[in-house]
Amino acid sequence: MARVIHYYAHPGHRFSHANRAMTRAAAKIEGITQVDLYAEYPRHNINIDREQTRLLDHEVIVFQFPLFWYSAPSLVKEWIDLVLEHGFAYGAGGDKLAGKVLMLAVTAAGPDDAYTPNGYQHHSLRTFLTPFEQTARLSKMRFAAPYVLYGALKSDPARHAEGFARLLHGLRDDHYDLDRAVAAEIVTHDTLPLTQKA
Amino acid sequence: MTDFLMLAFVFLIAGVVAVPIATRLGLGSVLGYLIAGIVISPVLAALGVDVISIQHFAELGVVMMLFLVGLELEPKMLWAMRAKLLGLGGLQVLLTTLAVMGAAMALGQPWTISLAIGLVMALSSTAIVLQTLNEKGLMKSDGGQSSFSVLLFQDIAVIPMLALIPLLAIPELMDTVATTAGHGAESAGDHGDSFSLVAGLSGWQTALVTIGAIAAVGLGGAFLTRPVFRFIAMARLRELFTATALMFVIGIALLMSLVGLSPALGTFLAGVVLANSEYRHELESDIDPFRGLLLGLFFITVGAGINFALLFENAGTIIGLTLGLIAIKAAILLVLARVFKLTGGDKWLFGLGLAQAGEFGFVLLSFVVANHVLPSAIADKLLLVVALSMMLTPALFILYERVILPRYDRQQDRETDEVEANGQVIIAGHGRFGGVINRMLLAAGHQTTVLDFGAAQLDMLRSYGVRAFYGDATRPDLLHAAGIAEAKLLVIAIDDKHQITELTRYITANYPDVHVIARAVDRLHVYELYAAGCRDIIRETFDSSVRAGRSAYEALGMHPFDAEHLARAYVDDDRAVLIELAPLYDPDIPHHENVPYRERTKALMAEREAQLMARGNAFRSRTDRGWSPPTPKDVTAESEAN
């Protein structure tokens, strides 16, 4: 059993389809920690000590958010800026997160073919997520391939949400092949690197 | 029944007619009641009413007043007053007793009678003085605090006096009225109560019972009241709470009477014990109406109790004695004021305010007569002197207010505090509002200068190293002394709406470089402050109300982040209305006659009403713009365009 923490950040939760379906599915899973960042810090007053304790208490950190302008909603950036302190996550003595796994679960409005050299976004999704990848690396964490839903506004969220639940189950019960996950570009509901036991 | 209704109606109508007139004329309510009493005295005589027994009943008002005073006074503050209480109070009683005794002996009375008269006349009227001080808002001034200390000591001093007076008995008087002997002691401190817990006990037993009673009040107040009130509060019946509060006060008064202590003193102690209790304000608001009515009744009976026949027969003597008494008492008080470093207006407030004899004088006089210390012929005249001196007290207060105070230009002792280094920030008013601002500024390392009226609080602040000064922040000279000319910022956090506006106007006109943050009481006050030139106006309860509204959103299941944004939108909308209406408001025109203001208000209100009718869409148009995704149709159109 791995200790999994699931961070959710969506300032427009009210308008969301895909992300709401995902959180609804995730909420049913027992034995993992779930945090709605915008509910906990509606005034962006992040409690650094509380968040660092949470990180120390878990091995797998999952961040779920919609992509806004090729990045995370602002509270996630604020969280990273404040919580991943020098001496905690990086720098001298900053090895408190070493060996943990960071994983993103993002939804993108654009279709998958937009995130290609010839698509209108011109770059792959992973290129836009490079800052997160490097954040994990600097913090000595493994960066597992993000769980992605393209065309999030048009697609049916049910299968994506169900896949997210299977993913979290797999992480919790050690049925998720982390080596394959780290090697993959992205994962989707039908390409989850679950081991046989699952 | 009819008799009772008649009596109640006479008293009520007298008070209802006389007091507003007296207050209107600036004479104060006490004088109004006294005059009402004089006017109805023939009616009462015709009805055959026993004014004195009503007065004994009405003294419960004094008891309640002391209870309320106690509630305002935490044990810590009482302890801080101990020097004043014993020094000032003790010296006042001692010196006045001796001086009056000397005067009586000079008039040919034997020393025993003279000493008795001295003791009776040393006391002042708690009822009149506290009522007047409260009414004029002088209770917190140094003069008011000193007066209160003396009155409290006098209440304590009555106990040894009651013990001392029987020792002065004159054998001849004792023989002539031997039949009535024995009733004296009982008709004393408890005004004719026929029970006593200490009758027939030896000295040490009496002392033990007395200490036990005080301990019972203290411990009962500290440990018993809270569970009782909590239990009563569960019933959720307001009148039951009132009944309980009355039960406590009357019970304590009864207990004190039974052991021969002053009931007022007992309830005062109970009040002090309860000063930190969460039920304090509830108790205050429950007891206060009774206090007011009974005290009014008490003053009426003082007025009605004047024996005019006797007064006219001996007009010269009695008026002479009254003025002499006031002169002696005032002289001693003024000397003490000097010794205890009261200056300016405070000195005169203290000196003139306490110069009368008091309601305890009535009690002691009947006690001394019953104990054969004083022939009743003298006592009757002295009763008139006591009553007359009480009647003159409001006049002395008027003298203080109209003649003496203007000379000192409202200067109080503490205002001579030399305001040393000038702070960059001046905070006017250190109550719940200003206090928070001061702490925030200090926490950020700023230097503040605090101006406030509450002397005790200022001492506390000063002990923490805050530069706090006693004084009326609306006075230009004090502001100047506090360094307004060099200040960057003035925070106006005083309570009074009009004073806030006046101060704002004065500062914006005379010190345009000083940034003013003004506390607004309500919406119209915001406009008034805007008109007065202030552009940093904070409504005192607005932010907390918005937070409460936001909590309500969350309690009803709204996501906290949405609740936060909807609350912000409400604030923005409210602010937009304020900004639009503020320039239209004209403080010189009543707002309902100000046509542009009225029309624009109507239009804005109509807009908001329409939004409310649309249910749930009042401010959402603004919040919805954030983070709402494009519709699938938009997305399709977009990808086709790419």
Residue-wise pLDDT for B536-589, tens only, equals 999 999 999 999 999 999 999 999 999 998 999 899 889 889 988 998 988 888
Neighbour count for residue B341 (Cβ, 10 Å) = 10
Q: Looking at residue A67, what is its pLDDT?
A: 95
Q: What is the helix (H) or strand (E) element at residue B469, kind and residue range?
A: strand B467-470
Longest dimension (CA), chain A: 46
Q: Interhelix angle for B497-510 vs B523-531, to 10°?
A: 20
Chain A: give the shortest CA distance to residue B555, in Å.
13
In a domain, residue B635? The reply is no
Neighbour count for residue B198 (Cβ, 10 Å) = 19
In a shared domain, residues B200 and B80: yes
Residue of B nearest to A152 (CA): B632
Q: Looking at residue B457, what is its pLDDT?
A: 67
Q: What is the helix (H) or strand (E) element at residue B106, kind and residue range?
A: helix B90-106
In a domain, residue B304? The reply is yes
Q: Interhelix angle for B280-304 vs B51-58, to 10°?
A: 160
> Cβ B561–A110 below 8 Å, yes or no?
no
Residues from chain B that touch A153, judged by Cβ atoms under 8 A, are 629-632, 635
In a shared domain, residues B480 and B542: yes
Residues from chain B that touch A43, judged by Cβ atoms under 8 A, are 564
CATH number of domain containing B140? 1.20.1530.20
| CA B169 distance to own-chain centroid | 40
Q: Looking at residue B193, what is its pLDDT?
A: 45
Chain A: give the shortest CA distance to residue B568, in Å.
11
* pLDDT beyond 70 at A15: yes
Residue-wise pLDDT for A78-137, tens only, equals 999 999 999 999 999 999 999 999 999 999 999 999 999 999 999 999 999 999 999 999
Does B626 reach chain A within 8 Å, measured CB to CB?
yes
φ, ψ (nearest 5 deg) of residue A144: -75, 150
Chain B: give the shortest CA distance to residue A151, in Å.
9
Residue of A nearest to B626 (CA): A12
Nearest CB to A12; choose among B628, B631, B632: B628
Q: Looking at residue B174, what is its pLDDT?
A: 58
> Cβ A153–B629 below 8 Å, yes or no?
yes
In a domain, residue B633? The reply is no
> Cβ B561–A39 below 8 Å, yes or no?
yes
Q: What is the helix (H) or strand (E) element at residue A63, kind and residue range?
A: strand A60-66
In the DSSP assignment, the letter for residue B221 is I
> Cβ B626–A11 below 8 Å, yes or no?
yes
Q: What is the CA radius of gyration of chain A?
A: 16
CA pair distance B546, B550, nearest whole angstrom? 6
> Cβ B560–A40 below 8 Å, yes or no?
yes
φ, ψ (nearest 5 deg) of residue B536: -125, 85
At B299, the amino acid letter reads F
In a shared domain, residues B289 and B364: yes
In a shared domain, residues B381 and B438: no
Q: Looking at residue B364, what is its pLDDT?
A: 79
Closest CA to B303 of B68, B67, B127, B96: B127
Does A100 reach chain B within 8 Å, measured CB to CB?
no
Closest CA to A189 of A22, A12, A14: A22
In a shared domain, residues B27 and B120: no
Does A43 reach chain B within 8 Å, measured CB to CB?
yes
In a shared domain, residues B402 and B326: yes
In chain B, which residues have pLDDT < 50?
177-193, 410-422
3-state secondary structure of B468: strand
The pTM is what?
0.50
Residues from chain A that touch B625, judged by Cβ atoms under 8 A, are none
What is the phi-psi region of residue B472: left when phi exceeds 0, alpha when psi lies from -120 to 50, beta otherwise? beta
Enter the tokens of residue B76: 């810590």
At B521, the amino acid letter reads V
Q: Using the structure block, give the residue that is written with the tokens 């992973």.
A: A126
In a shared domain, residues B314 and B442: no
Residue of A nearest to B630 (CA): A153
Residue-wise pLDDT for A25-50, tens only, equals 999 999 999 999 999 999 999 999 99
In a domain, residue B640? The reply is no
In a shared domain, residues B320 and B454: no
Residues from chain B that touch A36, judged by Cβ atoms under 8 A, are 559
Q: Looking at residue B177, what is its pLDDT?
A: 45
Enter the tokens of residue B421: 């280094």
Does A38 reach chain B within 8 Å, measured CB to CB?
yes
What is the phi-psi region of residue A138: left when phi exceeds 0, alpha when psi lies from -120 to 50, beta otherwise? alpha
Residue-wise pLDDT for A135-154, tens only, equals 999 999 999 999 999 999 88
Domains defined for chain A, CATH in brackets: 4-183 (3.40.50.360)
Chain A: give the shortest CA distance to residue B16, in Å.
56
Residues from chain A that touch B561, judged by Cβ atoms under 8 A, are 11, 13, 38-39, 42
> Cβ A153–B632 below 8 Å, yes or no?
yes
Neighbour count for residue B227 (Cβ, 10 Å) = 9
Residues from chain B that touch A38, judged by Cβ atoms under 8 A, are 559-561
CA pair distance B233, B275, nearest whole angstrom? 18
Does B21 reach chain A within 8 Å, measured CB to CB?
no
CATH number of domain containing B601? 3.40.50.720
In a shared domain, residues B57 and B45: no
Enter the tokens of residue B20: 């507003």
Residue of B nearest to A37 (CA): B561
Q: Looking at residue B185, what is its pLDDT?
A: 39
- The answer for residues whose C-beta is within 8 angstroms of residue B568's C-beta and 6 or more apart is none
Number of domains in chain B: 3
In a domain, residue B323? The reply is yes
**First vs last Cα of chain A: how many Å apart?**
13
Q: Looking at residue B189, what is its pLDDT?
A: 40
CA pair distance B142, B350, nearest whole angstrom? 9
According to DSSP, the β-strands at B536-539 and A33-36 are unpaired
3-state secondary structure of B517: strand
Residue of A nearest to B554 (CA): A39
CA pair distance A107, B612, nearest whole angstrom? 35
Strands of A142-149's sheet, edge to edge?
A33-36, A4-8, A60-66, A101-107, A142-149
> Cβ B639–A12 below 8 Å, yes or no?
no
Does A42 reach chain B within 8 Å, measured CB to CB?
yes
- Would you list the DSSP string of A131-164? HHHHHHHHTT-EEEEEEEESSTTTS-HHHHHHHH
3-state secondary structure of A8: strand
In a domain, residue B597? The reply is yes
| Helix %, strand %, coil % of chain A (to 5) | 40, 20, 45
Q: Using the structure block, give the residue that is written with the tokens 């009596």.
A: B7
Does A68 reach chain B within 8 Å, measured CB to CB?
yes
In a shared domain, residues B70 and B102: yes
Interface size A-B, in CB pairs within 8 Å, comes to: 50
In a domain, residue B357? The reply is yes
**Final residue of a domain: which of B382, B408, B434?**
B408
In a domain, residue B414? The reply is no
Residues from chain B that touch A13, judged by Cβ atoms under 8 A, are 559, 561-562
Residue B559's alpha-carbon distances to A10, A15, B551, B564, in angstroms, are 11, 12, 11, 9
Strand partners for B539: B520
Burial tier of B105 (Cβ tally within 10 Å: 0-12, 13-18, 19+): middle
In a shared domain, residues B357 and B484: no
- The answer for residues whose C-beta is within 8 angstroms of residue B485's C-beta and 6 or more apart is B511
- Would you list the DSSP string of B122-148? H---HHHHHHHHHHTT-TTSHHHHHHH
| pLDDT > 70 fraction of chain A, expressed in percent and rounded | 98
In a shared domain, residues B214 and B303: yes
> Cβ B635–A154 below 8 Å, yes or no?
yes
Q: Which domain holds residue B485?
A: 420-623
Neighbour count for residue B394 (Cβ, 10 Å) = 24
